[in-house]
Amino acid sequence: MELGNMMLGLIKAFDGGAFYHDVRGIHAFDQLEEAEEKRVYEAGQIELIMNTPHPTQEQRAQLKRYLLEKLDSTVMDVTLLAAGAEQFGLTIMDLFEERMGEYEQKCYMRKEQS
């Protein structure tokens, strides 16, 4: 799985020993990561930086810090999705396929051409 993630450029779920790998344990850490992402976003005035045509080096560093926090939060979300889906004998892709019609309806995704 790890090799497949690397070759395809996919995000891998967290699998280390920092937390219990059940939905409750992952959820607790997910909340922590989301709070940290939000804190860095607000403290760094990220919305303003993203709307600055020529950011300074300091602003670029702030934006990168935020993006790394966003990555932490996103990987934890992927980990939570995988664990939750597994409880029902599903994968993230199963959930994604079930949701695809709604994504197309909302124009989040293009309909695949047959």
pLDDT digit string (tens) for 16-53? 999 888 899 999 999 999 999 999 999 999 999 999 99
pLDDT at 85: 94
The domain limits of the chain are: 20-105
Q: Look at residue 7 and tell me whether its pLDDT is greater than 80.
A: no
Mean pLDDT of 48-76: 96
Q: How much is the mean pLDDT over the chain?
A: 90
For 72, phi then psi, to 5°, come to -55, -45
CA R_g for the chain? 17
| SS3 call for 2 | helix
